[in-house]
Chains A and B, each alone.
Chain A
Amino acid sequence: MSDGISVGLNCPACGGAISMAEGENVVLCQYCSSVLAAEGDQGVHTVAFKNKTLKDAAMGASQHWWTHGLKARDLKTTGKIVESYPIYLPFWKTTTRVAGWVCGYEERRHTDQKGNVTVERIPKEVMVLQDFTFSEIACDPGDLGIRTMKNFMGETTFANFEEIPTFESTTSKDAAATRGLNDSLAKARANAHVPQVTLDTLKAFNKGLTLIYYPVWVVRYNYRDRMYMDTVDGVTGQVLSGRAPGDPLFQSLAMTGGTSVGGLIAAAGIIYAQSASDMRIALGAVAVGAIILFLTYRFFRHGSEIIQGEFKEKKSIASALKQVQQVGKALEGLR
Chain B
Amino acid sequence: MKIVQVKCPSCNQAIMMKEKDKLFYCDKCNVMHIREGGAPEKVDFEIAEFSPKAQGEKVYMPFWRLYTTFIVRSKNVEGGTIFKMSQWLKGGSDSGNMFIYIPAAELDAGTFRKFSTMFTGAAPRYPTRLNFNNVRRLPGTLPKQEAAQLADFVVVTMEAEQPGVLQKLDYSLTVNDTKLVYLPFVMTPQGPMSAL
Chain A residues packing against B (C-beta within 8 Å): 7, 9-13, 18, 20, 24-28, 33-45, 99-101, 103-105, 123-125, 127, 129-130, 198-199, 201, 203, 205
Contact = CB atoms under 8 A, between A and B. Distances in A.
Interface in B84-125: 109, 112-113
Contact of B157 (A20, A28, A123, A127): A127
Contact of B38 (A40, A45, A129): A40
Interface stretch (B63-71, B145-153, B187-195): B145-153
Contact of B166 (A7, A35, A45, A199): A199
A101 B166 contact: yes
Interface string B9-49: 00000111111111010000000000100100000000000
Interface centre among A12, A104, A123, A205 (most CB of B within 10 A): A123
Interface centre among A36, A103, A127 (most CB of B within 10 A): A103
Contacts of B4: 12, 36-37, 39
Interface residues of B, number: 37
B73 to A, nearest CB: 13
Given A103-B166, A105-B167, A129 B14 contact: no
Contact of A123 (B3, B17, B79, B146): B79
Chain A interface mostly: strand
Contacts of A125: 160, 165-167
Contacts of B149: 203, 205
Nearest to A13: B5
Interface centre among A7, A100, A105 (most CB of B within 10 A): A100
A40 B2 CA distance: 6
Nearest to B77: A123
Nearest to B76: A198
Contact of B20 (A28, A39, A199): A28
A201 B153 contact: yes
B165 A35 contact: no
